[in-house]
Amino acid sequence: MLIREIKTLLDAQILSGEQMLDQDVAEAFASDMMSDVLAFANPHCVLLTGLCNPQVIRTAEMLDVSCIVFVRGKPLDSEILNLARTKDMCVLHTEKGMYTTCGILYSSGL
């Protein structure tokens, strides 16, 4: 599934990495615990999280995550966005909750 399709399905805003919208991804991983992301997520996945701190960007960089989707409509501060832009990461933001986001993506084939 293309990141562009994920953006559309989730009615998400793109906050960083617009040039990556045509990148294809095969799986997603959802967690608010970055230790679980490090232990269980696969590289090049889409990371779904409600955790809004710079550690998410650093964790995603370590795993070579294709895109981060921040859920629940939580506001992101400039430190997070600046770090994501510096690392050239794709960041989406949706008002939908984690459960709904996972369900939409799963039912759409991701």
The predicted model scores a pTM of 0.96
Residue range 91-105, pLDDT digits in tens: 999 999 999 999 999
- The percent of the chain in helix, strand and coil, each rounded to the nearest 5, is 40, 20, 40
Residue range 60-79, pLDDT digits in tens: 999 999 999 999 999 999 99
* Number of Cα atoms under 13 Å in the Cβ half of residue 22: 1
The partner residues of 67 in beta bridges, in order of sequence, read: 46
pLDDT band of residue 2 (cuts 50, 70, 90) is very high
β-strands 13-16, 91-93 pairing: antiparallel
User: Hey, what domains does the chain have and what are their CATH numbers?
Assistant: 3-107 (3.40.1390.20)
Mean of pLDDT values over 30-44: 97
The backbone torsions φ and ψ at residue 23, rounded to the nearest 5 degrees and listed phi first, read: -75, 140
